[in-house]
Structure 1
């Protein structure tokens, strides 16, 4: 069934990916044009994508811990990781993601140094109402992006996930080498390894897609002279790659998961193709759903 703790975390990740497609990408395009607006409106556009990125990282971390417990303590897993606890964890993680992403609103921003537009609001010269050129780097300081966002909130979870998946494969391989494992237990363990492989791939894809942006941010902060010489297309390509992550993720965690694939096919057949009996067996009974499998 789809209503498992692991799938709750995957749905949380999917929600972040969908929100990136619907909101973050248009916002990113908007704040790359340099149009004139008030400072905090521009800051909100810039921070919203940070919220979604952080929620993706937390969802990936939650899935990694979930799979680690499934491999390490399989007999106690169902009592430790319940649907209710998973939903509570997801709620806490999203609150934390909003807190981290919206931190610039608390004062860690570039309001004092933002480049103002030549046309003040309403044609007056009131400085408090003056518009700013809406660019990401004009409202969010690189110190926040590097020290707090990258070193504090992105890199540590990625390193933790790397350690977790290494330990998962080490523990799983040791258990598979035990000759006394029953065939049923061995099959379940192999399925967990396949699931871990798919989820580790998601983490790897996330790192490949997002590390270039953070690397450029680090160069901008620590080597400002060299950063001025970098071609504009480099940053644009890095941003494009980061948003492409939200397109790649569903292919891995949805299409590779039999439960998701079965459900998608069922929904399309029933509501798009209007076929109500496509998933019924020859005796007219509905076919059984396949077991959870995220194997590659």
Structure 2
């Protein structure tokens, strides 16, 4: 039923695109979705109310509707759940194909063809088996024409259809692939931020242990601080504008008079004044 509704939507968008917005409104779309669920409910409830029955079907290895128990309900369910939607789907896409417009120009049409083909391929054997069993039971009173292996195979095809649809959408839909790539990028970014935060926390923990006077001297040596590394080799860092020991006045003078700067550094506990020569 959902595939039939999608086929009708594609039919109106391609065959009558100028009036598509006025026909396929939000209210009508919501009404169609509500109708699909109500019809599915009405089709599935009769066996619970006494029309047909549910029993353990050995070839299916599960409890299911006994199609041979009530030929009337089998025909009712097959017509509403399969035959009518299949006719709507085939009509819509036959009209679309007759236009001669390349289908690849319409978003999602090729993918939908594959989904519908998989649906017909997987469900037709199962519905056919159900109809044959119901007809044979109505005529002869028993169902022996369909072998158990055919019942098992048709039921497995129905289950396979639920596995094929996600694969078809994932392999053929660019929109789905882009959304999946975006989700993957978000997950990677989130994991990367978590790893970075954990490393930062570990680094802060190491720094706190190094600055703690109660830390034994036999522990792992701490890396030199930025001020120690800068003051250990004045010639190496003479090209930098600011040093760790420079006060605020030195900063301001350097910004205003870059050619005549005095930076105040401390080495061995004594204040030293070094002339910084301007560089090319």
CA offsets, 1:64-117, max 9 Å, x none? 000000111112212322345323321231122112222323331238xx79xx
TM-score normalized by the length of structure 2: 0.57
d(CA) in 2 for partners of 1:240, 1:198: 23
Candidates 156, 163, 167, aligned match of 2:91: 163
Gaps of 5+ in 1: 1-57, 116-133, 177-188, 277-296
Q: Which residue of 2 aligns with 1:253?
A: 169
d(CA) in 2 for partners of 1:92, 1:229: 36
The count of aligned residue pairs is 185
Spell out the pairing of 1:263-274 with structure 2 (5 A cutoff). Answer: 263-271=179-187, 274=190
CA spacing shift, 1:85–1:151, aligned 2, 3 Å: closer
Structure with the larger strand share: 2
Relative contact order (alpha carbons < 8 A, sep ≥ 6): 1 or 2 greater?
Answer: 1
Are 1:143 and 1:221, in contact at CA under 8 Å, matched by a contact in 2?
yes
TM-score normalized by the length of structure 1: 0.54
CA spacing shift, 1:96–1:204, aligned 2, 3 Å: same
d(CA) in 2 for partners of 1:81, 1:230: 44
d(CA) in 2 for partners of 1:273, 1:247: 31
Q: Per the alignment, in what secondary structure is the counterpart of residue 136 of structure 1?
A: strand
Gaps of 5+ in 2: 57-61, 193-280
Q: Which residue of 1 aligns with 2:131?
A: 218
Q: Return the index of the structure with the highest Cα Rg.
A: 2
Q: Aligned-pair RMSD on alpha carbons?
A: 3.1
CA spacing shift, 1:259–1:100, aligned 2, 3 Å: same
CA offsets, 1:146-173, max 9 Å, x none? 31011343112101210110101112x1
The reply to whether residue 241 of structure 1 matches residue 169 of structure 2 is no
Q: Per the alignment, in what secondary structure is the counterpart of residue 149 of structure 2?
A: helix
The reply to whether residue 66 of structure 1 matches residue 17 of structure 2 is no
Q: Which residue of 2 aligns with 1:81?
A: 24
